[in-house]
A and B are shown apart, each in its own frame.
Chain A
Amino acid sequence: MKKLSIAERLGMVNYLNQSKTEAKPHILVDTDICNTGCDHKATTRVCPANCYTIDDVGKVHFQFEDCIECGTCMYACDKGAVTWEFPDPEIGRGVKWNFG
């Protein structure tokens, strides 16, 4: 079987409220904490949906649109940078699994 990129994998995920241009974020990340006070930047390493990335100059960036609500970042961040909630069914993003 062909190796799949993370983009190809996330391409199979059914996200909710895709038609809405402005979904309400269910995770807030204070990346200042990541970029100034964190030695491991764990979220960028463990997130299975690649929502946390590091740019060329080593800064952490976060986007919630690809989030599959797994919760991993809530545990992995031990610096208090991640505020995690479940997405609002009406105006939030989030997943609907076909198989689960």
Chain B
Amino acid sequence: MEDKFDCIIVGGGVAGLSAAITLARNDMKFLLIERGEFSGSKNVSGGVLWGEGLSKLVPNYWEEEDAGFERFINHRRLTFMDSDSTFSIDFKSDSFGEKPYKGVIVLRAKFDNWLSEKVEEAIGASKYPDESFLAPNILVEEVLMDGDQAVGIRAGEEKFFADSVIIAEGVNNLLTRQVGLQDDYVPADALAVGLKEIIKYDQTVLEDRFQLNGLSGMSNEFIGTATQGVEGGGFLYTNKDSVSFGLVLGMISLRDSGLKPYDILNEFKAHPVIRDTLKGGEVVEYSAHAVSTGDMKVMPKEIYGNGVLVAGEAANLLMNSGKAIQGMDYALHSGVLAAETIVEAHKSGDFTKNTMKTYRDKLEKSFVLQDMKNFQGAVEFLHSKQMFESVPGLVCDFGKQFFSIKNEPTPKTRHMLSKSVKKHSSYWQLLKLGIKGARSL
């Protein structure tokens, strides 16, 4: 291993592994370093990998007997909650069972590990099967610089050298800060903390309860009382024989609420509707992780430098636009684009900013930065107190009136709606919110 690598990838998550597969397929010599015992052992996400990117990276992955995903999504639900009711928008379509799937639910300890096997396979099939490596259980402490050019990494006493470094270290992007692309301190304003429990069921119980068929699955997002007034929302995703259930809470809003995050999770589980949904399950894991919200003001100052590229959530590429929480698809795509940039740099022999900059251009042209830019208004909109307090209250209040039959003269629906609006908001407030929502979504 004395030779210099074409590239060193720091981090074996979705971004790093996607970059690695792409490098291997282009016959690059690389070293991927992961600090966990195996890829995925340190990683937490909600989590749904949205979109069709995985099918491009690992063609026909669904044909594998035990591919790394839990279930594909053909059922989506958005639920508004008040203290005793839920009101859901529910969409299920058999067409979502067509391949490639539109989204797959994953558990990272399994999925990332599976994806790392795809890296090994790609290395094996490349021109240099003995000159690229996956190295787990090693912590990269420093990106080595020669002037302002990244030339390798240091792990403990050991140094490894390469023409380029892809930083795919996740949201807690210490190396991105070290190389000067991100501020040393990133404020909590644009970050959230995600908490999750894995709740296990007998598989047939789970399939009956959520009307799952074969490998089909459901994603459910919650807005309203789930968070006890704290900015954010809840989620439930069906795995093979468990559900991923949790919350994403704005850090500053959580700080100011005086509530403990795990107590909010307990209250969410105790909600009468959720209680019935989760009945009989056994919690087998509790996890949590900081998560970016999609606010572009905390993105690194730049995502490329001389000899260095930043991919995935290390570049804060994650967004909740209200339609879905997207992060792993951004990680996958940015990893691929970063690797393609390295391949081009290798061809031209130029690993300076001049070539590295094309990574940014590629990302700008792709859905990743296009969506993040176009939906900044939606990110802000979802952070407004009305969206996670008044609107869910209003919707549930209307539901209680509309769906109750009292055997007394029934008011017209518009009167019911008017009553709910007055109780939780005002027409003026709603109009403003409606305009904002219509513009941003």
Contacts and interface: CB of A to CB of B under 8 A. Distances in A.
Interface of A: 1, 3-4, 6, 9-10, 12-13, 16, 40, 42, 45-46, 48-50, 68-72, 74-76, 78, 80, 84-89, 94-100
A20 B199 CA distance: 30
B108 A97 contact: yes
B266 interface: yes
Contact of A100 (B41, B197, B257): B41
A1 B275 contact: yes
Given A4-B266, A71-B290, A99-B107, A12 B191 contact: no
Nearest to A96: B41
Contacts of B174: 84-86
Given A69-B42, A72-B193, A72-B251, A100 B171 contact: no
Question: Which of B188, B191, B197 has the most CB atoms of chain A within a 10 A radius of its CB?
Answer: B188
B273 to A, nearest CB: 13
A34 to B, nearest CB: 14
B411 interface: no
Interface of B: 35-37, 40-45, 107-110, 112, 137-139, 171-172, 174, 185-188, 191, 193, 195, 197-199, 242, 244, 251, 254-255, 257-258, 260-262, 266, 269-270, 275, 278-281, 283-290
Closest 10 CB pairs of A and B: A100-B108, A48-B288, A9-B286, A71-B172, A71-B290, A100-B109, A75-B188, A42-B255, A99-B198, A99-B107
B260 A78 contact: no
Contact of A71 (B37, B171, B275): B171
Given A12-B284, A85-B174, A100 B266 contact: no
B258 A88 contact: no
B396 to A, nearest CB: 23
B188 A96 contact: no
Given A78-B185, A89-B139, A95 B42 contact: yes
Nearest to A75: B188
A1 B244 CA distance: 15
- A contact face: mostly helix, strand, loop, or mixed: loop
A84 B233 CA distance: 27
Given A75-B186, A75-B188, A98 B109 contact: yes
A80 B109 CA distance: 33
A98 B40 CA distance: 9
A18 to B, nearest CB: 14
Given A1-B269, A3-B266, A75-B191, A100 B290 contact: no
A49 B281 CA distance: 22
Given A74-B172, A85-B174, A97-B43, 12 more contacts: A4-B262, A4-B266, A4-B286, A12-B283, A42-B251, A46-B251, A46-B254, A48-B193, A72-B288, A72-B290, A94-B42, A97-B285
A98 B198 CA distance: 10
Nearest to B250: A46
Contacts of B287: 13, 68, 95, 97, 99-100
Contacts of A78: 185, 187-188
B43 A98 contact: no
A98 B284 contact: yes
B193 A97 contact: no
Contacts of A84: 172, 174
B188 A100 contact: no
B255 A45 contact: yes
Contacts of B172: 69, 71, 74, 84, 86
Nearest to B189: A75
Nearest to B111: A100
Contacts of B275: 1
Contacts of B42: 69, 94-97, 100
Contacts of B188: 42, 46, 75-76, 78
A100 B43 contact: yes
A54 B44 CA distance: 28
A69 B269 CA distance: 24
Nearest to B138: A89
16 contacts: A13-B287, A68-B287, A68-B288, A70-B193, A74-B186, A80-B185, A85-B174, A89-B35, A96-B37, A96-B41, A96-B42, A97-B109, A97-B285, A98-B109, A100-B107, A100-B108
Contacts of A99: 107-110, 198, 242, 244, 284-285, 287
Contacts of B171: 71
Contacts of B269: 1, 3
Nearest to B258: A45
Given A75-B187, A89-B139, A96-B37, A48 B285 contact: no
A9 B107 CA distance: 18
Contacts of A75: 186-188, 191, 251, 290
B232 to A, nearest CB: 12
A51 B42 CA distance: 18
